[in-house]
C-alpha cells in the first residue's frame, strides 16, 4: 500500500521523478482535470494559492499542481488558473545533479 502523504512530501522534496503530462491555463469555472479525465484524488495538500494532489487513474499515479489565480499579476483579476499534471515515476530515483521535475 502506498503512503500518499509520504509520496507527496517526497515529490515536494524532489526525491521522486515526475514527468510533465499536461500544462495549461483554464478559465475559472471550467472543469478541472480530476473531474474531466477520470482521475481519483488519493491525497490533497492545498493552501489559498495552490492546490496540490496525488491522483490515481488505473494503476498509474499522478501529481497535480494548480495555481488557483494565475492571472492576478498580469491584470489584477482572477479569471484563470494554471494547471500542471505530472506522471509519478516510482521505479526511478533522482540523479541529484539536477532537479527531478
Q: At 54, list the grid cell.
A: 496525488
pLDDT of residue 93: 54
Give percent of the chain with pLDDT exceeding 90: 45
- For 4-31, what is the mean pLDDT? 89
Q: At 48, list the grid cell.
A: 489559498
Q: Model confidence over 24-46: pLDDT tens digits?
A: 887 777 666 666 678 999 999 98
How do beta strands 50-57 and 16-27 pair? unpaired
Question: Does CATH place domain 4-91 in 3.30.160?
Answer: yes
Q: Where are the domains of the chain?
A: 4-91
* Residue whose grid cell is 479569471: 79
pTM of the model: 0.78
- pLDDT above 80 for 18: yes
Amino acid at each position: 500500500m502506498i503512503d500518499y502523504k509520504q509520496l507527496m512530501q517526497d515529490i515536494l522534496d524532489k526525491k521522486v521523478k515526475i514527468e510533465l503530462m499536461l500544462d495549461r491555463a483554464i478559465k475559472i469555472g471550467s472543469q478541472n482535470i480530476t473531474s474531466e479525465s477520470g482521475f481519483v484524488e488519493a491525497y490533497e495538500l492545498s493552501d489559498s494559492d495552490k492546490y496540490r494532489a496525488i491522483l490515481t487513474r488505473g494503476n498509474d499515479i499522478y501529481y497535480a499542481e494548480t495555481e488557483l489565480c494565475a492571472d492576478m499579476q498580469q491584470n489584477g483579476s482572477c479569471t484563470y488558473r494554471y494547471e500542471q499534471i505530472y506522471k509519478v515515476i516510482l521505479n526511478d530515483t533522482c540523479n541529484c545533479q539536477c532537479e527531478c521535475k
